[in-house]
Amino acid sequence: MRRITPDREKAKSLAKMVEKIEKRIEETDKEKFPSQVLKDYYTATKQLMEALAASEGVKSSGEGAHKKLINWVAEEYNLKESERQFLQQMRKYRNRITYEGFNIEYGYLERNQDRIENVMEELERELEDLYGSVNVGTG
């Protein structure tokens, strides 16, 4: 993680992208496309974390950037260890889906959808605490 100039506009842009991803998740048949939905959830969550990092003037890049970002957000925003581990698991699944053709079963998504959305809502609240409304909302 390295220090950069805080970027409120980037944070807001990322939050707006999350809205579009959430809309796509809402419209996607989760039973038919659970792996794609999980990738979308991960992307949305990562963008919320990147928005928080941009707000704080922090950037991760290079090898292990997503892992570092998750760890930084968990520490900086006092996420529970179980949430940090869950985000790391999502990151690993997303990588396997993307690079190995791994498939997530619908049951996994069904069991974890509320948990994913709760973490996203927590990250969105942190952004709202920084900026007031940034026009994000899960579901």
User: In 10 A of CB 117, how many CB atoms?
Assistant: 17
pLDDT in the model for residue 2: 86
Reported pTM = 0.90
- Residue 137 contacts by C-beta under 8 Å, 6 or more apart in sequence? 19, 22, 124
The CA radius of gyration of the chain, in Å to the nearest whole number, is: 14
Query: Contact 123/79 with Cβ under 8 angstroms?
Result: no
Enumerate domains of the chain plus CATH numbers.
2-131 (1.20.120.330)
pLDDT digits over 49-105, tens only? 999 999 999 998 899 999 999 999 999 999 999 999 999 999 999 999 999 999 999
CA–CA distance, 38 with 105 (Å, rounded to integer): 10
